[in-house]
Amino acid sequence: MPLYEFVCDDCQREQEHLVRGEETPECEQCGGSRLTRLLSVPAAHTHGGGGQLPQAPPPGPCGGSCSCFPGG
Ligand SMILES: [Zn+2]
């Protein structure tokens, strides 16, 4: 059975449950049945952030009809 992560809507406790099919487990803390399954995300944590943004290519010659050249 797959192991899923849940968060309780009532007490916001995060927990893991083995679920089968469409079964919804109960909260291990408050016993509530309003659990929201968290999406299992791949390990894509970035430490420190600072992702590299794609940079726009430098402006090049666009032709005589383009106004990107001053005085053109
Ligand atoms: Zn709960």
Q: What is the pLDDT of residues 13-53, one digit of tens each?
A: 999 999 888 778 999 999 999 999 997 665 555 555 556 66
Residue indicated by tokens 């007490």: 11
Q: How far is the CA of 70 from the centre of ligand 1 (A)?
A: 66
Residue indicated by tokens 């849940």: 6
47 part of a folded domain? no
Q: Give the predicted TM-score (pTM) of the model.
A: 0.51
Domain boundaries, position 27: 3-37
63 part of a folded domain? no
Q: How far is the CA of 35 from the centre of ligand 1 (A)?
A: 8
64 and 72 in contact (C-beta within 8 Å)? yes
66 and 72 in contact (C-beta within 8 Å)? yes
Evaluate if residue 70 carries a pLDDT over 80: no
Cα separations (Å) of 58 from 3, 53, 55?
Answer: 49, 15, 9
Backbone angles phi, psi at 8, to 5 degrees: -80, 135
45 part of a folded domain? no
Total tally of structural domains belonging to the chain: 1
21 part of a folded domain? yes
31 part of a folded domain? yes
Q: How far is the CA of 20 from the centre of ligand 1 (A)?
A: 20
61 part of a folded domain? no
